[in-house]
Amino acid sequence: MIYVAEGPSAAGKSRYVSSLQLPKVVRELAGHLRPDDAASLEETSRFWVRRNEERWAEAVHDESAQGIAVCDTDPLKLHYAWTLARAGLDATADAFTCQLTLVRDSLQRKALGIADLVACAVPSELVLRTHRAGDVTRTRRNFEAHVRLAAPLKEWYEALNDVDPGRVVWKWPEEPLSGKGRKRYDLDLFDAWMDRLPAA
């Protein structure tokens, strides 16, 4: 099973996956990994999709090695471009449109997939701010923007759960993790998910 912990910044994803005490977890991308400032929209989109493909490959490897792969944030991170547009933090939906085409191609090649189970926790803004204030180990420099992405992130995964009920749970599950194997590379499912989303 490939299992994802997802939520806005300061939701407690990293703390939660660490509490599972697995030999290995697929961590978030390091903050210093960024495309060149002069890169075009397509080049930037390809950069992020390639990085996400690397994380998916790591998850597939971990699943083979330890029976389960746990990811701190979704390797299929198309939601980031969509939530930015949905929250009005990106003036256009161009980044989402560009990445959507690339991600769909990645699914077809099985270089990216839809996780078997997503735990998506979206605490209130007050809880997020309390968590942030209590964590002196991280600066969370884009925190204010990420607070605004919380509601669209919930919409994103609600759409997935609408087209594939039970694929998303709305809290951090207790051990043992449970979930059934699901279709990871189904383009009809992916298209239905995208069609279910509110307009960005």
Question: Mean pLDDT over all residues of the chain?
Answer: 88
Say which DSSP state 72 is in: E
Asked if the model's pLDDT at residue 160 lies above 90, the reply is: yes
Asked if the model's pLDDT at residue 189 lies above 80, the reply is: yes
- Confidence grade of residue 126 (pLDDT, cut at 50, 70, 90): confident
Verify cis geometry, omega within 30 degrees of 0, for the bond prior to 198: no
Q: Give the tens place of pLDDT for each residue, 69-106.
A: 999 999 999 999 999 999 998 867 899 999 999 999 99
Sequence-ordered strand ranges (E) for the chain: 2-6, 69-72, 117-120, 168-169
Sequence-ordered strand ranges (E) for 89-189: 117-120, 168-169
Asked if the model's pLDDT at residue 49 lies above 90, the reply is: yes
Give the C-alpha separation, 121 to 173, whole Å. 10
Residue pointed to by tokens 């998506």: 120
- pLDDT above 70: percentage of residues in the chain: 88
pLDDT at 140: 58
pLDDT at 136: 64
Domain ranges of the chain: 2-196
Q: Dihedral (C-alpha) 115, 117, 123, 129: value to the nearest 10 degrees?
A: -40
* 110-124: average pLDDT: 92
- The helix (run of H) or strand (run of E) holding residue 195 is helix 187-196
In contact, 69 and 3? CB cutoff 8 Å: yes
Asked if the model's pLDDT at residue 23 lies above 90, the reply is: no
pTM of this structure: 0.88
List the strands of the sheet with 69-72, edge to edge.
Answer: 69-72, 2-6, 117-120, 168-169
Q: At what angle do helices 79-86 and 94-109 cross, to 10 degrees?
A: 160
Higher pLDDT, 69 or 146: 69
Q: What's the CATH fold of domain 2-196?
A: Rossmann fold (3.40.50)
